[in-house]
Structure 1
Amino acid sequence: MGDVYALDFDGVLCDSCGESSISAVKAAKVKWPQLFADVDSSIEDSIVDQMHTVRPVVETGYENLLLVRLLLEIKIPSLQKSSVANGLTIEGLLERWSDIKPVIMKEWSENREELVDLFGKVRDEWMEKDLATWIGANRFYPGVPDALRFASSQLYIVTTKQGRFADALLRELAGVAIPPERMFALGSGPKVEVLKMLQKQPENQGLALHFVEDRLATLKNVIKEPELNGWNLYLVDWGFNTQKEREEAATYSRIQVIQLSDFTKKLK
């Protein structure tokens, strides 16, 4: 019996936090030039540092822009345009992001699709001007490129990242080419729907199904779907999640918290 692995990208295969945070600052400066007019590079650097702490709340890339602006408002109260920034701590942001996000989207009059497009455009421009630096702001977790290259399992990428960026990183940084029909990226629909489709594909019949994620909320969504009871679920202990989330994951019988060395062995 063989195996099917559906793999999240950011936080499972690739540590993209440096690149996504820098790209978010670049995009925020384009989106809100008046807010960032007097922001010096030391403040930008400190926001990029803080982004590593708040990264676990991000489900889709455009949220990085919202976080960059919110962190700026927390840091410089005179720039505050949102009701939530006053007195907000990093811990509070981590705990309440799902409530905060719709509030700031409304108060800042933002449109999700516009932010998605801008974030992609800024990344495209960076890649075009200086591919080496863009690539270098990302890193694959140790052992992952070899594990992907020599995997004996059926591999699928299931990510909310825009596919062209995941594909570029796999090719340029990991030396791995994933066929387009095995790449499900932003625009492919909710991950639970992708998993339902994958388990019905003829080539996956009779194989053991494994889904590897770094977001506990995504795995909890899978558990809510009886149709997906056949999937083995894993939360990685090295990605963009918190100790609290890993402890909570351990209370679910369906979820296995997995270490990087075990993950790379499984793929091979």
Structure 2
Amino acid sequence: MNDSIIYALDFDGVVCDSAVETAITGWKAGTTIWKDMPDAVPRAIVEQFREVRPIIETGYEAILIIRLMYLGKSTAAIYANYSAKVQRMLDEIHLSIDDLKKLFGETRDNWIASDRADWIAKNPLYPGVAEKLRRLGQRHLWCVITTKQERFVKEILRANNIELADERIFGMDRKLSKPEVLKGLKAQHPGQPIYFIEDRLPALDGVQKHPELADVKLFLALWGYNLAADHAVAAGQAIVLQQLDTFLSDSLGVV
């Protein structure tokens, strides 16, 4: 595969539409912190969560966002001074980010243990993506670069009969930023083009801050968790606005 392209794919919002599962996991975890929250997550909150999903970088944030929604905060209110809101809530509950990451992961583990089929069903792949990845693997090398914990990526890929070696799943467990992973791929595969497909504009902006990654081709996955405002900003940068049907049609360079 010396002439192949290295496809570096974000997971949530590119491969997997995990918004509903993330909302429910956030709610389940939240009920262990705030005892006034009932066991069942209201449908309206799950629906509102999709509107706020683009602001989330790492899954644990869903716990805090879900709490804000339960307290009646609007989508606009959550977006306003988001970082300050997160810090204030962490101070109030006396938990660290690492505590919340652990709680979020354990909540998922418990859900999988009690009803794996239901958990998988709440993590559907985007239409056509499974077939695309199987086809991609026949000629090109692809990997996942995500802030998700790796065991959950493996569960979802396995459930969809998609083979990907463990060493090609770069998740939270590695404690590497996405630019660091891309630099590692460049070192391992010198001279081969790298396509980074990501649905969050801040992640793409982060790559652009590293001059040594200037030759990595950047794609904003418009089918994922982003906003019209993100599209407008990306259009003025060296970022390709990618529609799902174009990605599926092999027009990124796969014959």
> TM-score if structure 2 supplies the norm length?
0.92
Percent identity over paired residues: 37
Higher mean alpha-carbon deviation, 62-71 vs 94-103, is at: 94-103
2:52 matched residue in structure 1:
54
What is the distance in 2 between the residues matched to 1:40 and 1:135?
20
Structure 1: which amino acid aligns with 2:11? F
> Following superposition of structure 1 onto structure 2, how do residues 1-268 of structure 1 map, counting pairs within 5 Å?
1-33=3-35, 35-36=36-37, 39=38, 41=40, 44-73=42-71, 75=72, 89-151=74-136, 152-172=139-159, 174-188=160-174, 189-201=176-188, 204-252=189-237, 254-264=238-248, 265=250, 266=252
Higher mean alpha-carbon deviation, 255-264 vs 58-67, is at: 255-264
Give SS of 2:6's match: strand
Superposed structure 1 runs of 4+ greater than 4 Å apart: none
Q: For the structure 1 residues 222 and 95, does the alpha-carbon distance in structure 2 shift closer, same or farther, using more than 3 Å as the test?
A: farther
What is the distance in 2 between the residues matched to 1:92 and 1:192?
31
What is the distance in 2 between the residues matched to 1:163 and 1:213?
17
* Cα root mean square deviation, aligned: 1.6
1:151-206 CA-to-partner distances (Å, cap 9, x unmatched) read 1211010000011111100110x2102101101001321111111111100xx222
Task: Give the drift of 1:126.
Answer: 0.8
What is the distance in 2 between the residues matched to 1:63 and 1:231?
29
What is the distance in 2 between the residues matched to 1:227 and 1:98?
29
User: Which consecutive residues of structure 1, in runs of 5 or more, have no partner in the other structure?
Assistant: 76-87
Structure 2: which amino acid aligns with 1:19? E
Give SS of 1:13's match: coil
Q: 2:68–2:78: 8 Å Cα contact kept in structure 1? A: no
> TM-score if structure 1 supplies the norm length?
0.88
Higher mean alpha-carbon deviation, 97-106 vs 188-197, is at: 97-106
Q: For the structure 1 residues 101 and 147, does the alpha-carbon distance in structure 2 shift closer, same or farther, using more than 3 Å as the test?
A: same
What is the distance in 2 between the residues matched to 1:10 and 1:59?
10
What is the distance in 2 between the residues matched to 1:98 and 1:232?
29
Give SS of 1:176's match: coil
What is the distance in 2 between the residues matched to 1:14 and 1:3?
22
User: Which consecutive residues of structure 2, in runs of 5 or more, have no partner in the other structure?
Assistant: none
Task: Give the drift of 1:44.
Answer: 2.5
Give SS of 2:94's match: coil
Give SS of 2:173's match: coil
What is the distance in 2 between the residues matched to 1:167 and 1:40?
28
Aligned residues: 247
Q: 1:19–1:137: 8 Å Cα contact kept in structure 2? A: yes
Structure 2: which amino acid aligns with 1:195? L
Give SS of 2:195's match: strand
Structure 2: which amino acid aligns with 1:129? S
